[in-house]
Amino acid sequence: MKTSKNLFSVFILLLLFRCSSEKIANNTLFIAPSGNDNWSGKLAEPNNNETDGPFATFQKAQETIRELKKMGKLPADGVTVYVRGGNYSISKTIKFTTEDSGEENAPITWCSYNDEKPVFSGGVAISGFMKICDAEVLKRIEKTYHDSILVCDPARAGLKPKELTFHRRKPLAMELFFNDEAMTIARYPNEGWLKITDVPQFGTELIHKGDLPHTRFGIPVGRHYGRFTYESDRPERWHKTEDIWMHGYWSWDWSDIYNKIENIDAVKKEIYPAAPYSGYGYTKGQRFYFLNVLEELDSPGEYYINRKTGKLYFWPPENINEGEVTVSILEEPLLVLENTSYVNIEAITFECSRTTAVKIIGGNSNKIAGCVFRNLGNVAVIIDGGENNGIISCDIYGTASGGIHLTGGDRKTLTPANNYAENNHIYNFGRVFRTYSPAISMNGVGNRLSHNHIHDSPHAGVLFGGNEHILEFNEVHDIAKETGDVGAFYIGRNWTCRGNIIRYNYFHHLFGPGLHGVRAVYLDDFSSGTTIFGNVFYKAGRAAFIGGGRDNIIENNIFVECDPSIQVDARGLSWAKNYFNKSSKLHVSTLFDGMDAVNFSQPPYSEKYPELLTLYDDDPAMPKNNKIIRNVSFGGRFIDLYDKLNFEIVEVTDNLIGDPVLLRGSLESDQSDNFQIFQYGHVETMENMKGNKFLKENPGFEDIAKEKFQLNDKSPAYELGFKKIPVEKIGLYNDEYRTQMTRMTLIYTDKKINLNKNKEK
């Protein structure tokens, strides 16, 4: 009897195991480099007889799921496709459509298996490097480096390099990577810049008349006749000047352009750029460098590709036999989701496309989670429309352009999309296109950026436009390292982009070397209706900046050692008055065009933003209704007011101010040096600011030296109505995808990480 019971128990266990196995088999598919599309795809690895095992391709798994859906056999809780570790060479975009959608409670998930690391690559590994034997080539390279520089012929692998181009809307030219790091096209100087010494103001043809009313050295900015001069003897060493390029900030520190050279006169030290020219012309004193010069292949990590012969010359930074050399080949995205819904892409590495890695176009509730994006020719991810689509807990670095481009929602109807970018670590971006390549660009209505850690870039952190967005709990530092007149968060030039909230972010260590420096939050060119609430700014340049706009609120923020904490100008009354003078030849119609584009006098805008109805009759050039209230500012300069602004126009009340400098002001714009500085204790200034509270001592920060800026319970800020900022929630967080922190948690712990190390989960 006992034996029968035991046998019955075993039978039940076997039955349960079988049912469980069938459930797993029905819900699960596998893909592996060792797979075979003739197998069932239901096993994680080949069986002993190699008669069954995982699929080999995405396409086969895709076909299988489509067939399940057609037969009405999609499991109630969806399907998971496990992608085994290894390198998957992608030669053509993997495309999902409506047919590949899941359902709300039955998503289709494509993810890594356990802790394995599948890599989807648009690149090809190359080998066959050897010493250079071509005497003509050796003549062009300094003899000291002959043994260090190697050559290979990618044509042996069927690869033919195309012409060198730098176009933001086209695939980038083939790039070289060594051990997953981007190498550098041979350049001079190896680091830093040369300067334009002069731009001759005579010639046969005026190419660019200049950017009036802006002038430098008495000349309209950018005005040129097709040439400029430089100060260097280096080009005299170059045997050939064909296909030499320059990269520079030719007139403004917020605009970089790659320009091919038509001719170099090494005797006169004159450069003739090839058309198309820089759109902003060329200006004396601006910076540039040469690239794609074989003679300048003179340091580890540099390479040069002869586009005619196809030969690739490379100085590897390490023993080439102990590393992997990869070139980017794919000229299209690795993965596209078009009008899909409830599709998840998880824990996969995407690399070496010469354009974007992943595009989501339309659809609903698609999610990219826990992935790594690196070494790409454009942005990593594009989310274009749809609803509830997002990217969460991903690492993005080494992109030629930005990180994420996110849009969604209807601006005319103010319908929100609820798309999101959350808990992403985005750094070392803008590798090729240095300006307007933000970590995240966002447009539309009702989208969200939260808990992202953004750092180390030449230009902006976030560029956004549209309505009713939320930007919260992000940490941003060390951006704008190469540019000026830029913001960590930037929005500009539209009266109707309202209802945006920037709250609970930490901005720190922002230093822009270019003209006009860096702002943490930059409300540029009449941007209006934005709320900046509960943020922490530490050494954040011109921290909160209102550039002529109205109806903005700066409230309940902490500013420490900022220069200044807040700046407001009335540019519409000074250098930007051409926005409002419709009779002027220099009239800029952007603001009025933006109003017309959304039918501002009709619902929903007339109801949601009734202040727009009276804007034209209410001194539109004047920055009215801006409020600066209940902030804490310490250790820097509190506020700058320009263009005849005063405290009657800007409401400044209930702030706790511990800055040695209270005010810098000018009757002119911030582009003038004719300003006055008013120190703490200046009677008239303190009288004008009497609705605020002043102090000299620490306002109650936990520990300034350790950058712990939470205020203690005894801080006088609370008497003014200040609310505690949830600093403990700012930045990245651990979840099922991100199990190891990779952020600099300066305001929470004493531990700092090495930001130069690329970390994966």
Where in the chain are the domains?
2-89, 124-186+297-327, 194-296, 487-730
DSSP 467: B
Choice between 760 and 327, residue whose per-residue pLDDT is larger: 327
pLDDT above 70 for 12: no
Tens of pLDDT along 634-672? 999 999 999 989 899 999 999 999 999 999 988 776 667
Question: What is the pLDDT at residue 514?
Answer: 66
For residue 603, the tally of other CB atoms under 10 A from its CB is 10
Q: How far apart are CA 47 and CA 54, in angstroms?
A: 10
Tens of pLDDT along 88-136? 999 999 999 999 999 999 999 999 999 999 999 999 999 999 999 999 9
DSSP letter for each residue of 548-585: S--S-EEES-EEES-S-SEEEE-GGGTTTGGGT-TTST
Question: What is the pLDDT at residue 515?
Answer: 63
Q: How far apart are CA 183 and CA 312, in angstroms?
A: 12
Dihedral (Cα; 264, 265, 270, 274), 10-degree rounding: -30
Question: What is the pLDDT at residue 741?
Answer: 59
* Average pLDDT over every residue of 469-481: 98
Q: Percent of the chain at pLDDT above 70?
A: 93
Question: Quick one: which of 456, 355, 471, 346 has its CA closest to 406?
Answer: 471
Tens of pLDDT along 402-430? 999 999 999 999 999 999 999 999 999 99
- Strands 228-229 and 270-273: what pairing? antiparallel
- Which pair of structure tokens corresponds to residue 528? 């209006």
Q: How far apart are CA 464 and CA 462, in angstroms?
A: 6
Question: What is the pLDDT at residue 242?
Answer: 86
pLDDT above 60 for 480: yes
**Is there a contact between 121 and 86 (Cβ–Cβ < 8 Å)?**
no
Tens of pLDDT along 442-454? 999 999 999 999 9
Q: How far apart are CA 522 and CA 670, in angstroms?
A: 14
pLDDT above 90 for 513: no
State the burial class of residue 193 (Cβ atoms within 10 Å of its Cβ: 0-12, 13-18, 19+).
middle
pLDDT above 90 for 160: no
Question: Quick one: which of 517, 615, 506, 621 has its CA closest to 559?
Answer: 506
pLDDT above 70 for 220: yes
Tens of pLDDT along 429-474? 999 999 999 999 999 999 999 999 999 999 999 999 999 999 999 9
